[in-house]
Structure 1
């Protein structure tokens, strides 16, 4: 009886340790090198780019949006410009739900909380059967992806435009806050 209870506990602890080792936020780096997470960019016109940053399920919305702005600033400087302005900018949220059976449910209640076939044949509820079915752990999994179309330019950024950013200032302010690839 003790090994019956001990086995699910050890399995749950091992799974939790394995998942915690893998559960790290998306590091700042290009997508497509063995991962679909990270940044990507595409030159649309001479002074217009499309920039995106996709995070995994443990990357916060704030980190994804900072990664997007940081990449936009880098693209701006790489193209020989000083500032960028976002024309279209959006952050998408992908939500999934994952359900897994409670590993402690069955062994704990099996001797006392089981089916009574006498009542099931008649279609009646049994006082000894679980009326809610097996216990399930449900968790919500969020994943964020931000994308923007940017216009780049030389000289000082346009005054009074709240969507315009100085590329060097963005890199100086956000660069240290964004986790990098190792």
Structure 2
């Protein structure tokens, strides 16, 4: 019985050690979040991670944190895009970026880009990273009835559990 408890505790500890953390990036290309205020109530948020889904979720989490710190209730994504960096691979590589935007007057757009990389230095076989970037505006009161608008408290509560 003691061994089963010890094995369970070690497995739980190993899971905590290997889980990626939610932290600010230590550099422009480092894993983690970066955020910048563009003007009052408008921010640019990005998150870099090896997992593209986690990169987007953690960018949403950071957007919710900024919104709540701003004393606001909701945020709306006005631009969103992802950039995958596989430049660490030897022999070059490709990357695909997908972006979208929503502007005033109900106009929106989506774009897709494909790039080819050529290694100019000594490349390694390092795993690629994805940076998910979004620009948001924050607001108070009832959330707009738009798919690009998010309730900051709900996002914070739901994604904080998965942030590691």
Range into which the TM-score falls when normalised by the shorter chain: 0.5 to 0.7
- Matched ranges for 1:21-170 at <5 A: 24=18, 26-32=20-26, 36-55=30-49, 59-95=50-86, 96-98=88-90, 141-159=127-145, 161-170=146-155
Return closer, same or farther for 1:164/1:178 CA change in 2, 3 Å cut-off: same
Find the aligned partners of 2:31 and 2:47 in 1 and give their Cα distance.
7
Question: Which structure shows the bigger proportion of residues in helix conformation?
Answer: 1
Unmatched 5+ stretches in structure 1 = 1-22, 100-137
Counterpart secondary structure, 1:68: helix
- Contact in 2 for aligned 1:77/1:167 (Cα 8 Å): yes
Cα RMSD of the aligned pairs, angstroms, is 2.4
Matching residue within 126, 138, 159 for 1:174: 159
Q: 1:37, CA displacement in angstroms?
A: 1.7
Question: Which structure shows the bigger proportion of residues in strand conformation?
Answer: 2
Unmatched 5+ stretches in structure 2 = 1-16, 92-123
Per-residue displacement from partner, 1:102-139 (whole Å, max 9, x unpaired)?
xxxxxxxxxxxxxxxxxxxxxxxxxxxxxxxxxxxx95
Q: 1:71, CA displacement in angstroms?
A: 0.1
State which structure, 1 or 2, has the greater radius of gyration over its C-alpha atoms.
Answer: 1
Give me the TM-score of the superposition, normalised by structure 1: 0.57
Q: 1:89, CA displacement in angstroms?
A: 0.5
Q: 1:30, CA displacement in angstroms?
A: 1.0
